[in-house]
Structure 1
């Protein structure tokens, strides 16, 4: 949007608004850029002309708690500008974002010399923002408590699972010795790999609840990783009436193969659940970009519901799924970010959804 049409200027008389526009500095910043840190001096107000900014607070070592998102035609940083306090949160550009920056001094000068109605309008907007942010912060604290409980539960499950899983593996080894035909060997291989996957899935929930991941990185063929994933999951998807198509790229990636397979599983099964009750198609494709490798999981389902689109990767967010926990996409995002990558979603109602996983080269 153009600077002149931003709603912040609607608080002021035309002449005053024009003066503030002249004082604004417009700049486009890349995704993941930090605009300011908590505790820094509040020296300016920011207007969002395009893109999105995340406001967050520290929550443990290297973790941050999201308290608000600011989008196009909105503004942030006004509280510190008004009362002179330091920044009370960190601001990060979620995507490439165009901002207009107005320094604190001209804003205060205008407010001191303008009508009472203008001041009240600005204060009302600030109070409204504080109320929304407070509700969000309380919700995040509750979410953190839930994650603690999930971690405790996962720890207990891991302990209880190991013995029966060991028994299944021993029985599988005996079956392997007694029957050496190709079909039995194939079935034994699937059983062993799926048992290992059960254990690793619960361990990943435990790691997710703690906010840390232990990555066992190795250089892997992305095509081979995708083919192995299809080998383990294609039969189940076919029984659900879903066609799985691979479009691999001949590239090598330095990743934890087990955890990246978990990301694919969460994305594919999320699509499969969205396709429930209809014959569908899921395509996993890969391509090499300039400094990233992209894996895309695309389906022809109904798309992401509007009511959860902005919170899609947050824990416990789910909509319309029978028995859904709302953890699958949150875990996928955390694994991708542990690899130094990012995950994006594009979706249109009744035109399916596409999840793009982008990992750094090397």
Structure 2
């Protein structure tokens, strides 16, 4: 058998072709090579797009456009499977126009490919039972050939479908199937990367949003804490309102803020307290319930943000705005507690935000206004309680007052009899002066009682004999110290009288005694009450032999809510003692030796 050398068959075939045929063959080969290079460059460009572009929509649009060109198709569509795996949304291109369409999985050829994860090449769509002609009818497009490729992740799960329609020079070939499979691989990477990028961005946005909300919430909580502290530490309604308004303007820098409380007698909202640069004229506000913005807010119990022109704002608020002043914005919030409405909070001309006040601000100001309502309600309740206490105190001390009146009345009676018997003019004048002095003393007692009953004075001052006061106090303290291991010692070198409110001074003594009892609760000890006169002052000394005052409490003993080491301590006891002593214009001193005990000394003027 004769063996032919390699290349002989090809050489014979080439030799049998004419020159024109050879040139045509070379041209065809060159065109195939050009198309192959074009497709290779197209796939490389798709890869470059995937590497350089992060915007999901732009990447998909570029893939669709370049796939249409590479495949020589009339149109390309890329479907993305939804999270519930039931529908697909897509972007399709036709003549440069991109549209979004939606299909159910299993609907049409693309839906079939998504469900069964197999490539489909159809030469005549209308002869394929899987084709959904309704899409053509609605779009006016005529589909002929279809090449459809599933897009899958690393676990072979379908994430989408890419399809090209209507091959421009015939039908889609096996080479086209391989090319679309390669493009589909690139598109799958793109989709997965884009989804991952979107997930990361979404989580970062959610995290940032949560952080911003947390910061905002933290600021709100801190503001409300400051408001609550200012209101709780206040000793009067005026102090509470001032403290809360200061916190309000600290959070919302404005020209001024005013609390207007309802006056039933006038049927108007009357300024109770105002602060800020505009406080002077805000404090003069007295607004009718009818025909004013504040009255409407009060009646409806609904806050209002005002962003009006200057004149509209002036006309609606009816505020006594002085010449040269301008109103740019305002917020008016009802002061309510449960079903009761006490007035309104008005803040004008916010400085840190030209837009004025927003819904979030109204919500926070509503909480602040509610705390104001609580302060007003508590203040009124305290006023009523103090009135009742004053009447009760007057009743309890009336016998003592009557006793105090006996002495000057006896003196007056004696001098009056002497005056009737005396003929000497100078002596009669002397008796008249002495009688007048006693009458003045009685008048002072009566005026003191009247001032206390009217609430003009917080103290019912009268002459109290120390021996009687200490005897009653000792009896109560022995009952307080019963079964506690605390021994009571009473020393009263001074046995004269003191002008004081004995009910309140007894309360101060009890607070000091309870502090001592708690300090001595673990091992017992001695509590001593000693009254003596020192340098013209009567000193009430309350001593214990306990552990002494902790270093942490030095310098803040008499502050409200200052407490240390007490399980149920409120930190108010010593603050109350200090207030009572101050009301008596007395002195309060404390000495403490660690491990040896503490002494509180109250100094009062003798009667």
Pick the TM interval, shorter chain. Answer: 0.3 to 0.5
Greater relative contact order structure (CA < 8 Å, 6+ sep): 1
* Superposition TM-score, scaled by structure 2 size: 0.27
